[in-house]
Copies of this chain bind each other. A is one copy, B any other.
Amino acid sequence: MSIPIYLQIKEKIIEMISELPANSPVPSERDLAVIYSASRMTVRKAIDALVDEGYLYRNSNKGTFVADEVLRKKNTTLDEKSIEREITYKSIYFDVKASSSDEVQSYLNISGEDSVVRMIRLCLADERPQSIEEIYIKRLDLDDDEFRNLPKTRDFNDFIIQGSLTQRFVPTLVPMQYAHMLELKINEPIIMVENIINRKSGAPFIYMKVFNNPKEKVIEITS
């Protein structure tokens, strides 16, 4: 099996605690090492990950305990997957142009001659409008395969794993051209999230503006 032992143990621990109430103690690291026939350091690595994700918490010299579910780390800003709703996208624009706005040029660190893919789409969950996404990517940063698959791309998490995400939260009034698509009144206050996905090297890769429908989508982060 090529899945690392500590990840297997992590899954087993999740299963073990799944029916325990909050604040129940879990076996000590030494005991778990015996239970799973692994070294203590390996078990510890699994627990480290679970603590990090908010499944468990440690009390020095006392033990490790099941955390309350409310403490599970989550970041719903880019994820809609966890919830069992049918997510669909309705494309509004998809084009490649050399003349991008100064804003896009500055965020993607490009000149006015570079071709930029622009994709604007409405995101729906169970037919209800969640947000409008404006996505900008430098054409040369995509190989032909990625470019072809772009209209089918649902979320951009795969791109983020390879780099880093900076999000800026901007209060604004819903833009007039989007108000009716989001089923909002004009002058409704909303949050526009500016997402900048960088590569590991730091080079900007994707610039994305998300206009969120506050009636549908709550932006919540647990850390």
Contacts and interface: CB of A to CB of B under 8 A. Distances in A.
A167 B220 contact: yes
A154 interface: no
Q: How many copies does the complex hold?
A: 2
A171 B171 contact: yes
A23 interface: yes
Contacts of A59: 200
A167 B221 contact: yes
Interface string A33-72: 0000000010000000000001001010000010111110
Interface residues of A, number: 41
Interface string A139-155: 00000000000000000
B68 A165 contact: no
A208 to B, nearest CB: 14
Contact of A164 (B168, B190, B212, B223): B223
Given A169-B169, A171-B171, A71 B190 contact: no
B165 A202 contact: no
B168 A68 contact: no
Given A167-B221, A167-B222, 18 more contacts: A22-B201, A23-B202, A41-B41, A67-B202, A68-B201, A70-B198, A70-B202, A71-B163, A164-B222, A164-B223, A166-B223, A167-B220, A167-B223, A169-B221, A170-B214, A189-B189, A189-B190, A221-B221
